[in-house]
Structure 1
Amino acid sequence: MKNKYEALFKPMKIGNVTIKNRIVLCAMGGTSPFGMNGLFNDGIRKYYLERAKANVGLIIPGVTGVKNMMGDGYLYEKEDIFMGPVKSLMDELHAYGSKFFLQLGAGFGRSQLIFPNMPGNDSNSAPIAASDGMPNVWNPSIKHRGMTKEEIKETVDAYAKAAVLCKRAGIDGIEIHAIHEGYLLDQFAISNTNNRTDEYGGSLENRFRFVTDIIKAIKAACGSDYPISVRYSVTSKMRGFNKGALPGEDYVEFGRSMEESPAAARLLEVAGADMLNADNGSYDAWYWAHPPVYMPSACNLPEVSYIKQFVNIPVVCAGRMNDPDIAEHAVESGMIDGIGIARQLLADPQWCDKVREGRLEDIRPCIACHNGCFAFSHFKGLPCGFSGKMGNCALNPVTLHEEEMALKPAAIKKKVAVIGGGIGGMEVARLCKMRGHDVTLYEKSDKLGGVFIAAAAPDFKKKDKELIKWYIKQLSDLGVTIKLNTEITKEMLGTLNADEIVVATGSIPKKLPITGFDGDNTIEAVEYLLGKKQVGDNVVIIGGGLTGCEIAYDLSLKGKKASIVEMQDDILKIMGLSSANSNMLREIIRYYKVDVFTSTALSEIKDNGVLVKTQEGDKFIPADSVILSVGYDSYVPFDNETITNNKVHIIGDASKVGNLLTVIKEAYDLAYKM
């Protein structure tokens, strides 16, 4: 019988290299085989091999600079590394039939993260860009200097010499990073970020001269048959500096337009590019290249499939292409030649095999949260903050830790009772059962999912809903005993006959000592999300965190007028929340004309609105309904003595309110110790 997704598993030619299927693992920060110090990162070897075992056709790791980004030194000087550990890695990957292109970068330009004491990139010196005076994306007060022609030629030469080493080491091809996402080469290519008057500025051909010279230099050094992929943004989706456009929005393109893009793509092909690995966006519209949950599936497919009409080389589309039905149709119909999958392969390395086998319900979905893989935060008072490590996964802590976090059978089989059926409870139950324990999960409501049911309620949270279904199926398949409508009291703890008791009872909404906080027109955020209370047409949301802003979006989609009241000087002031996600939410709030009141304290909730204190004085904001989104407090229904006597473990929000990343990591840490 024909496999439903057969089109995804047909071979594809890139130059003279045959890829065994149409699935490309796209580059992500944190997944380069080279560390920031330029040394080989042996700890990442297992990451590649796990995905190669599961039949990823082409692996492209995170960008490696042709020049060391933390100081002096060029990649082509690392011959011992290329001919040693890199060549060994290639031999291992090729044994599984996967191919590997190394992504080489020229630099970040105005997209460079500015950290204190970073050589050549701090506020006391001018980091390079295409042109003088370009504002830094993260801190626009910092202006860049234009790259000199000597530096350009050195970079072209460095690409060619690095490519020679790649070929000698058995690397199957090069990906140039890129005319993509507003990085340095893209800044040369876009007229509004290139005001040069020399041969690298002005006409389209001049603006593309830097990248086309790189392509030609690599071909001259490595031979015309050595494949080159170019990471390519079809359109920039920019309304201006640090201003992005939303799907369907009518706007004037500030970056590369759809009208200019066909000619640009042809220039790359004529220069010798063998593939375009394409999407949309720039750091000014970051959410196109790193699509959050608010982006539709296959968000970049319309533009990428359009550009394919103008070139004769393979075109791959990236950006939420992890819906197998959409992906299969796009390839089978000839809209594109291959699909770029990135963060989905962090969440589930076996995605390819599960799709091929038709086991879609067993795929752990990527929910596009970016909490583990790209936690660059950006808000007022913080030009750029970074928490965690790039390339990790909030849902799958094993990613990039494949060896040290390999699941092993428990030495002693135990009876484990888990109290609470939210994400943390389900995760610890799943892992304990996989280790061989006898697990019973108790949930006081009639369904599993906990507070995440409410978080997944908006229409744009399809993948969140899939995650709950995934957990339920995994627990069922594993044979975890589940007892719904069962509330465990402190008197019952001693009767559970368990060797280990895990409390994962989550959190409860905060209460503020504000007049009217429990009034008839107030609605707690979870109540609204679950549809337990209806709202009027004019709604004030108290709290401008992630939940409050997502509720404002949900209300806007329903035709309601939303306003946000936030005590801090900015909304979405959350360390660890990816700028890709927060930037898109900010643009959504702008687009739907949500009124935002920052540095504003709630004084009283009245029947017809709220009284607040602003920096200018007291203000009344009319409202039919008031939604309360002021945070949560941990909830443990047992006293300390009861917990101590019964050797109870408390995890997740019940221990400390966090997010999915912290909840799931705690579940792993506990389950692996039992």
Structure 2
Amino acid sequence: MFKSLFTPIKIRDMELKNRVIMPAMGTRMANEKSEITERLVAYHEARARGGCGLNIVEVSSVHTPSAPAHFVSISEDIYIRGHRQLTDAIHHAGGRAGIQLWQGSIAVMMDSKAKIFVPSDMPFGTFTVPAMTVEEIEEIIQCYGAAARRSAEAGYDCIEFHCAHNYLPHSFLSGGFNRRTDAYGGSFENRARFPLACIRAIRENIPEGMPLFMRIGVHDDYLQNGLTIEETIAFCKLAKEAGVDVLDISRGNIITPASIYEVPPIDITNGFNVDNASRIRKETGMLTVAVGRINTAQLADEILAQDKVDMVVMGRAQLADPEFCNKAQEGRTEEIIHCVGCNQGCYDGFCDVRNRPFITCLRNPMLGHEKEYKLEPATHSKKVLIVGGGMAGMEAAMLLKERGHIPVVYEVSDHLGGQFVTAGQAPGKAEMKEAARALGKQIERKGIDVHYQMQVNAAILEKEKPDEMIIAIGASPIMINLPGIENKPVYKAHDVLDGKCTPEGSVCVIGGGLVGLEVADALATKGHLVKIIEMKEQVGADLGNLRKIAVMQKMQSLNVEILTKATCVAVQEQGICIEIEGEKQVVCCDSIVVAVGAKPNEHASLVALCEEKKIPYHIIGDAKSARRAMDAIEEGFNVARQL
């Protein structure tokens, strides 16, 4: 199945069993000293065992003073041993191992101890990072060569040179960052001098048969004087002469809204960068890799079958399901847990250094715990009654069944999926609805007993006689009671998204969080004039950075008016009376949609029943407190893992 995707390929002396690449995504799984950890080894080993053709180890620093903590480093000989353990594990699991050589420029700022290098003076608020000296440039070039030698000694099958995302090589190449006036700036030839020197240094320090990949951005979005695709193509031809074999075509940078293309959220079209990669492949004649929201085997296979590129990056697809490749090749596509582009764990979790030690995944709470979370069969099979069939309840049911328990699900509605289904009703978010539907189908195939449109009470407990109970009944929207609210038709945002009601005419949405923005999107897309009223200084406070960029761009394109720091005072015939910094005004509208948050559904009666009958119980997800879906799913997983 998926013949094109699972066709072998040979690059120099390296043979890959298929065309799937696990890209070099930052994990923060290295330790404080940037050493390889057992956690990182287990993470890569799981994906190699899952059938991936090539694992590329992430953003490995080549220069010690500029190496941030918890990022992988290959900048000293002392790191070789740890990397050898990692490559041995990947090889033993049946995969091939690559390493991405990296100097992060301003990206190392997350570690205050790391030295920052930039091609030109760069101001940051109260201070300016000075441009690199020629001596520092030459030092970094030598570091790339030395890191390449260590990589070969550590057993890597190939190397990737990172020349994108305004890391140091890209920053030199792009006129949007490089404003030098010496031999390393100005003309295209001068701007290309540093990255080409790095490539030559790498090539000179690795075996002839070892392939060299290069990650490069197709062009610079939102960046004045940035790279054009024509310049990128010209540079790729020069890189080929310098020793690069394969182009890994990415997009985006970390200082403009183009960061949405680095870790593209659900709002960005699947495979959005493929045609760019195809053009570069055609004009350079080089082996080329497509990157960007390729999250299904069908899409990946179609891209390859159409001869657009030679390989595909499937990163978050394998975060969500480390067995992705095996399942796809064996035709078990209905068992695949698909990435939905939520960015909650892979990007937001990566950036949340205070609360998350390393990345995670909404769809896979095992991520980063592959070694420590041993999902052993239950020593004593228990009957577990799960009240609520949302994502948290389904996650718990699946894992309980896998471990040998007997889960029974009671759902008050006529379908599984809860608010994930509602979220999937918003424009461009059908993948979330499909994910909930697919997980529900897996519940059915596993033979898990599900009862719909039933409220759990004493009689049901007496009938089921569960050993334990999981309360996962979610949360419900909060309504408001403003003076004069009877003057206008008022709707709940969730009901609008679910298609239970249809506001008429112009609409005021009260609440500018995720749900408010999504219902505004849905209504404006249908042609309604929409205004959002939000009490806080900004809308989208519960959105991650990249999703917020995409959603706000959509609001602008739909001409949705947003009023912030606005308190709703009353409802009048003309619309809603609001107050902004002491001044009152009326926002005219025909209908009102309320999206001011949610509160946990009442579960005191269930708790009382459990305590009366001495049934151990666990409250998870939004039933405990309304939060992100990732938190709810993680709680369902952990309860089921520990029972």
- TM-score tier by shorter-chain length is over 0.9
Q: Which residue is 2:633 aligned to?
A: 664
Q: Which residue is 1:562 aligned to?
A: 530
On the 8 A contact 2:24/2:56 being kept in 1, the answer is yes
| CA distance in structure 1 between the aligned counterparts of 2:528 and 2:639, rounded to whole angstroms | 44
Question: Residues 358 and 135 of structure 1: is their aligned pair in 2 closer, same or farther, counting only changes over 3 Å?
Answer: farther
Q: Which residue is 2:113 aligned to?
A: 119
Q: Which residue is 2:46 aligned to?
A: 50
Question: Residues 463 and 236 of structure 1: is their aligned pair in 2 closer, same or farther, counting only changes over 3 Å?
Answer: same
CA offset at residue 632 of structure 1? 0.5
| CA distance in structure 2 between the aligned counterparts of 1:277 and 1:617, rounded to whole angstroms | 54
Secondary structure (helix, strand or coil) at the match of 1:580 reads helix
1:297-316, aligned counterparts within 5 Å? 297-316=270-289
Q: Deviations over 1:587-628 (max 9, x none)?
A: 222333321111111112334421111126112111122221
Q: Which residue is 2:539 aligned to?
A: 571
On the 8 A contact 1:27/1:103 being kept in 2, the answer is yes
| CA distance in structure 1 between the aligned counterparts of 2:216 and 2:348, rounded to whole angstroms | 23
CA offset at residue 669 of structure 1? 1.6
Q: Which residue is 2:361 aligned to?
A: 393
Q: Which residue identity does 2:220 align to in structure 1?
A: S
| CA distance in structure 2 between the aligned counterparts of 1:71 and 1:288, rounded to whole angstroms | 23
> Residue 129 in 1 paired to residue 118 in 2?
yes
Q: Which residue is 2:24 aligned to?
A: 27
Q: Deviations over 1:610-650 (max 9, x none)?
A: 11111261121111222211100011343353343243321
1:393-472, aligned counterparts within 5 Å? 393-472=361-440
TM-score computed with the length of structure 1 as normaliser: 0.89
Q: Which residue identity does 2:562 align to in structure 1?
A: V
On the 8 A contact 1:238/1:281 being kept in 2, the answer is no
Secondary structure (helix, strand or coil) at the match of 2:229 reads coil
On the 8 A contact 1:418/1:440 being kept in 2, the answer is yes
Question: Residues 443 and 26 of structure 1: is their aligned pair in 2 closer, same or farther, counting only changes over 3 Å?
Answer: same
Question: Residues 445 and 516 of structure 1: is their aligned pair in 2 closer, same or farther, counting only changes over 3 Å?
Answer: farther
Question: Residues 573 and 385 of structure 1: is their aligned pair in 2 closer, same or farther, counting only changes over 3 Å?
Answer: farther
CA offset at residue 276 of structure 1? 0.9
CA offset at residue 491 of structure 1? 6.0
1:504-515, aligned counterparts within 5 Å? 504-515=472-483
Question: Residues 135 and 16 of structure 1: is their aligned pair in 2 closer, same or farther, counting only changes over 3 Å?
Answer: farther
Secondary structure (helix, strand or coil) at the match of 2:162 reads strand
| CA distance in structure 2 between the aligned counterparts of 1:642 and 1:509, rounded to whole angstroms | 25
Secondary structure (helix, strand or coil) at the match of 1:570 reads coil
> Residue 207 in 1 paired to residue 191 in 2?
yes
On the 8 A contact 2:416/2:437 being kept in 1, the answer is no
Q: Which residue is 1:594 aligned to?
A: 560
| CA distance in structure 1 between the aligned counterparts of 2:485 and 2:57, rounded to whole angstroms | 51
1:7 pairs, out of 4, 26, 29, with 4
1:337 pairs, out of 303, 306, 310, with 310
Q: Which residue identity does 1:636 align to in structure 2?
A: E
Q: Which residue is 2:219 aligned to?
A: 235
> Residue 604 in 1 paired to residue 577 in 2?
no
On the 8 A contact 2:488/2:590 being kept in 1, the answer is no
CA offset at residue 286 of structure 1? 0.9
| CA distance in structure 2 between the aligned counterparts of 1:30 and 1:264, rounded to whole angstroms | 29
Q: Which residue is 2:239 aligned to?
A: 268
CA offset at residue 104 of structure 1? 1.3
Secondary structure (helix, strand or coil) at the match of 2:5 reads helix
| CA distance in structure 1 between the aligned counterparts of 2:523 and 2:4, rounded to whole angstroms | 40
Q: Which residue identity does 2:636 align to in structure 1?
A: A
CA offset at residue 490 of structure 1? 5.3
Q: Which residue is 1:324 aligned to?
A: 297
| CA distance in structure 2 between the aligned counterparts of 1:184 and 1:402, rounded to whole angstroms | 33
> Residue 108 in 1 paired to residue 105 in 2?
yes
CA offset at residue 97 of structure 1? 3.4
CA offset at residue 239 of structure 1? 5.2
Secondary structure (helix, strand or coil) at the match of 1:441 reads strand
CA offset at residue 153 of structure 1? 1.0
| CA distance in structure 2 between the aligned counterparts of 1:385 and 1:47, rounded to whole angstroms | 19
1:502-581, aligned counterparts within 5 Å? 502-517=470-485, 520-574=488-542, 577-581=543-547
Q: Deviations over 1:33-90 (max 9, x none)?
A: x4352222222111111111121011012211112445799955642431x3322332
Q: Which residue is 1:488 aligned to?
A: 456
Secondary structure (helix, strand or coil) at the match of 1:334 reads coil
Question: Residues 159 and 282 of structure 1: is their aligned pair in 2 closer, same or farther, counting only changes over 3 Å?
Answer: same
On the 8 A contact 2:250/2:292 being kept in 1, the answer is yes
Q: Which residue is 1:644 aligned to?
A: 611
CA offset at residue 407 of structure 1? 1.4
CA offset at residue 265 of structure 1? 2.0
| CA distance in structure 2 between the aligned counterparts of 1:339 and 1:566, rounded to whole angstroms | 42
1:169-208, aligned counterparts within 5 Å? 169-178=154-163, 180-208=164-192
CA offset at residue 345 of structure 1? 0.4
Q: Which residue is 1:625 aligned to?
A: 591
Name stretches of at least 5 consecutive residues in structure 2 with no aligned partner.
none
Secondary structure (helix, strand or coil) at the match of 1:198 reads coil
Q: Which residue is 1:277 aligned to?
A: 248
1:158 pairs, out of 131, 137, 143, with 143
Q: Which residue is 1:243 aligned to?
A: none
| CA distance in structure 2 between the aligned counterparts of 1:556 and 1:15, rounded to whole angstroms | 53
| CA distance in structure 2 between the aligned counterparts of 1:447 and 1:563, rounded to whole angstroms | 32
> Residue 363 in 1 paired to residue 363 in 2?
no
Secondary structure (helix, strand or coil) at the match of 2:319 reads helix
Q: Which residue identity does 1:85 align to in structure 2?
A: G
CA offset at residue 213 of structure 1? 0.4
Q: Which residue is 1:250 aligned to?
A: none
CA offset at residue 8 of structure 1? 0.8
CA offset at residue 145 of structure 1? 2.1
On the 8 A contact 1:599/1:615 being kept in 2, the answer is yes
On the 8 A contact 1:36/1:70 being kept in 2, the answer is no
Q: Which residue identity does 1:211 align to in structure 2?
A: P
Q: Which residue identity does 1:119 align to in structure 2?
A: K
Q: CA RMSD in A?
A: 2.4
> Once superposed, which parts of structure 1, at least 4 consecutive aligned residues long, lie more than 6 Å away?
71-74
Question: Residues 467 and 518 of structure 1: is their aligned pair in 2 closer, same or farther, counting only changes over 3 Å?
Answer: farther
Q: Which residue is 2:61 aligned to?
A: 65
| CA distance in structure 2 between the aligned counterparts of 1:71 and 1:484, rounded to whole angstroms | 51
| CA distance in structure 1 between the aligned counterparts of 2:180 and 2:394, rounded to whole angstroms | 57
1:89 pairs, out of 79, 86, 90, with 86
Question: Residues 142 and 460 of structure 1: is their aligned pair in 2 closer, same or farther, counting only changes over 3 Å?
Answer: farther
Q: Deviations over 1:304-360 (max 9, x none)?
A: 111111112211011111232322122122110110011110100111112212222
Question: Residues 390 and 625 of structure 1: is their aligned pair in 2 closer, same or farther, counting only changes over 3 Å?
Answer: farther
TM-score computed with the length of structure 2 as normaliser: 0.94
Secondary structure (helix, strand or coil) at the match of 2:587 reads strand
> Residue 258 in 1 paired to residue 229 in 2?
yes
On the 8 A contact 1:503/1:636 being kept in 2, the answer is no
On the 8 A contact 2:488/2:571 being kept in 1, the answer is no
Question: Residues 377 and 391 of structure 1: is their aligned pair in 2 closer, same or farther, counting only changes over 3 Å?
Answer: closer
On the 8 A contact 2:248/2:288 being kept in 1, the answer is yes
Question: Residues 105 and 517 of structure 1: is their aligned pair in 2 closer, same or farther, counting only changes over 3 Å?
Answer: farther
Q: Deviations over 1:347-400 (max 9, x none)?
A: 00111112212222211111111111111699xxxxx97642443112111111
Secondary structure (helix, strand or coil) at the match of 2:284 reads coil
CA offset at residue 141 of structure 1? 6.1
**Identity over the aligned pairs, expressed in percent?**
29
| CA distance in structure 2 between the aligned counterparts of 1:549 and 1:142, rounded to whole angstroms | 36
CA offset at residue 261 of structure 1? 2.6
On the 8 A contact 1:265/1:310 being kept in 2, the answer is no
On the 8 A contact 2:180/2:186 being kept in 1, the answer is yes
Question: Residues 431 and 276 of structure 1: is their aligned pair in 2 closer, same or farther, counting only changes over 3 Å?
Answer: same
